[in-house]
Amino acid sequence: MDFTIVHELPRRIRLRSGRLLDPCLDVNYLEALLGAVSGVSSIRVNVRAQSLVVEYDGSSRCRDEIMALLSSIPVEAYLPDVFDEETADPVRLAMRGALALATPFLNRGVAAPLTWLNGAPVIANGVETLLMRGVKVEALDGSVVLFSLLRKDFVTANMIVALLGLAHFMEQRLEHNATSLLKSLLRPQAEDAWVLRDGMEVKVPFAEIVPGDHVICGVGEQIPVDGMVVDGEASLNTSSISGESVPAHTSPGDDALSGSVVEEGRLVIEAREVGSSTHLARIGRYLESSLRYRSKSQRRTAELADRLAPATLGLGLALFLLTRDIRRSASVLTVDYSCALKLATPVAVRTSMYAAGKEGVLLKGAHALEAFANVETIVFDKTGTLTTGDLHVTDVLPAAGTELDEDGLLSLAAAAEEHYAHPVARAVVLEAEARGLALPALSQVDFIVAHGVAAFVEGREVLVGSRHFIAEDEGVDCSPLDDLAAELRGQGKSLLYVASQKRLLGVLALRDSVREEAAETLAGLKAAGVRRIVVLTGDHEQSAASLLEHLPQIDEVHAELKPEDKADIVRELSEKHGNLAFVGDGVNDAPALVTADVGVSMPQAADLARESAAVVLLREDLRCLLVARETAMQSEKTMTHCFGATLSVNSIIILLAMAGATQPVLSAALHNLSTIGILSYAAASGLRATPTVKALRSKDSTTMETADAPAHDVD
Q: Give catalytic residue positions.
A: 381
Distance spanning both ends of the chain, measured CA to CA? 63
Cα-to-chain-centroid distance, residue 423: 27
Closest CA to 8 of 62, 48, 50, 63: 63
> Which amino acid, residue 105?
F
Cα separation of 342 and 358, whole Å? 26
The count of residues in the chain is 715
DSSP 472: I
Asked whether the beta carbons of 332 and 654 are under 8 A apart, the reply is yes
What φ, ψ does residue 195 adopt, rounded to 5°?
Answer: -130, 145
Asked whether the beta carbons of 203 and 193 are under 8 A apart, the reply is yes
Sheet holding 267-273, edge to edge: 200-205, 192-197, 214-217, 267-273, 226-231, 255-256
Q: Using CB atoms within 10 A of its CB, is residue 183 exposed (0-12), middle (13-18) or buried (19+)?
A: middle
Closest CA to 15 of 39, 41, 49, 51: 51
Alpha-helical segments (H) within 444-562: 467, 482-490, 518-527, 541-545, 547-550
Q: Which residues of 51-84 are buried (b: 16+ CB within 10 A; e: fewer)?
A: ebebebeeeeebbebbeebbeebeeebbeeebee
Closest CA to 615 of 377, 374, 298, 371: 371
Q: Which residues of 422-432 are buried (b: 16+ CB within 10 A; e: fewer)?
A: bbbbbbbbebb
Cα separation of 62 and 305, whole Å? 44
Closest CA to 632 of 371, 420, 430, 264: 371
User: Per-residue DSSP letters for 78-129?
Assistant: B-TT----PPP-HHHHHHHHHHHHHGGGS-HHHHHHHHHHHHHHHHHHHHHH
CB atoms within 10 A of CB 151: 14
What φ, ψ does residue 503 adopt, rounded to 5°?
Answer: -130, 135
Q: Is 631 helix (H, G, I), strand (E, B) or coil?
A: helix
Cα separation of 572 and 42, whole Å? 51
Long-range interactions of 89-94: CB distance < 8 A, separation 24+: 90/169, 92/165, 93/162, 93/165, 93/166, 93/169
